[in-house]
Amino acid sequence: MLWTEKYRPSKLSDVLGQEHFVMDAEHWVLNKECPNLLLYGNSGTGKTGAAVALAKALLGEDSTSNFFEINASDDRRLETVRTKIKSIAQDSAIGDVPFRMVLLDEMDGMTNDAQNALKRLMERYESNIRFIITCNNRNKIIYALQSRCANYFFKNLTFEVIEEAIVKILEAENYPVPEEIRSFIYAFNGDMRRTLTELQASVASGIRLTTQIEKGLKKYEQITMNILNNNPNEALKNLHNLIYEGISTKEICIGLHDYIVSSEMDSNKKLKFLRVIGEGEWRSHNMTPKLLVSWMVGNLQ
């Protein structure tokens, strides 16, 4: 079983590093009421886990019948809101619970038309349903939805919080804590999910953690070599493949940055790459992924 699922928070007290949210959520559970919610922040900060833990706490044994998870980046069309989500919202809650709950995960992938339709459902079926929206970039959520939700920023987890959680998981799995665990955690920039995924891969394959990090940077080495060897089309193809795999442009920029810093590239070229990557990470908040990687490759030629 994947450790990211096995050790996902099952109750609010298991949610790591987001005390501001947990404190309010415990109050909602006590009063059996909560607003529509928008949870935003970087990948791997616990947004989805916190949403599921809240739903279980509020709905109890009836959560199976009244809680629905929808990946909004997969079901991003207007028709999804008009049919699938509307059908859930129209029905009354089953059992002794105050309302049904819908988790719309990765909502920043949903079209503006679909988001506008969701806004109308929020208003019309307020007595039946509560929505929990998660996203990486709040700017991609229309203001009309932001204003109808309580907004919670999920900050990156500190290395100390991640280390403590990782040590407990390794002990539960009867694996010794590697000496290089701190440098391994540092490599993933506060992304608990990616840290845990890479750790499990390393343990399962018997590969040292440092080797696992180097293995993860191979794809970014290939992209960099394609650019240096004047093969931009191949570099773009590899970057597009990463986007199709669900890797965000922010993660791509971090991966490229980490490879460039560790490489033996000429200093002037290294600084040029780092300038473009840094600006690319900044632009990732406002540019679509395919346009952004095209811009980056064009500026690195």
Q: What are phi and psi of 19, to 5 degrees?
A: -60, -35
In the sheet with 100-105, reading across from the earlier edge strand, the strands are: 67-71, 100-105, 129-135, 37-41, 150-154
Given pLDDT bands bounded at 50, 70 and 90, which one contains residue 209?
Answer: confident
Q: Rounded CA gap, 199 and 170, in Å? A: 9
Q: Provide the pLDDT for residue 111.
A: 81
Q: Write down the pTM of the prediction.
A: 0.75
State the residue for tokens 């007595």: 127
Is 131:98 a contact under the CB 8 Å cutoff? Answer: no
Element containing residue 150 per DSSP (H, E): strand 150-154
The percent helix, strand, coil of the chain (3-state, each to 5) is: 60, 10, 30
Cα distances (angstroms) measured from residue 121 to each of 85, 140, 216, 263: 9, 19, 42, 52
Given pLDDT bands bounded at 50, 70 and 90, which one contains residue 72?
Answer: low
DSSP 81: I
DSSP 207: -
Given pLDDT bands bounded at 50, 70 and 90, which one contains residue 78?
Answer: low
DSSP 179-206: TTHHHHHHTTTT-HHHHHHHHHHHHHHT
Q: Rounded CA gap, 77 and 81, in Å? A: 7
Element containing residue 117 per DSSP (H, E): helix 112-124
Given pLDDT bands bounded at 50, 70 and 90, which one contains residue 195?
Answer: confident
Q: What are phi and psi of 183, to 5 degrees?
A: -65, -30
Task: Say yes or no to pLDDT of 143 above 70.
Answer: yes
pLDDT in tens, 231-257: 989 999 999 988 887 777 888 888 888
Q: Provide the pLDDT for residue 80.
A: 66
Given pLDDT bands bounded at 50, 70 and 90, which one contains residue 79?
Answer: low
Is 39:132 a contact under the CB 8 Å cutoff? Answer: yes
Mean pLDDT of 170-195: 83
**What amino acid occupies position 254?**
I
- Structure-block tokens of residue 38: 């928008």
Residue 294: closest CA among 271, 276, 272, 270 = 276
Given pLDDT bands bounded at 50, 70 and 90, which one contains residue 57?
Answer: very high
Q: Rounded CA gap, 231 and 234, in Å? A: 6
- Least confident among 72-81, 86-95, 100-109, 192-201: 72-81
Q: Rounded CA gap, 62 and 72, in Å? A: 24
Mean pLDDT of 160-179: 88
Cα distances (angstroms) measured from residue 176 to each of 165, 168, 233, 301: 14, 11, 44, 46
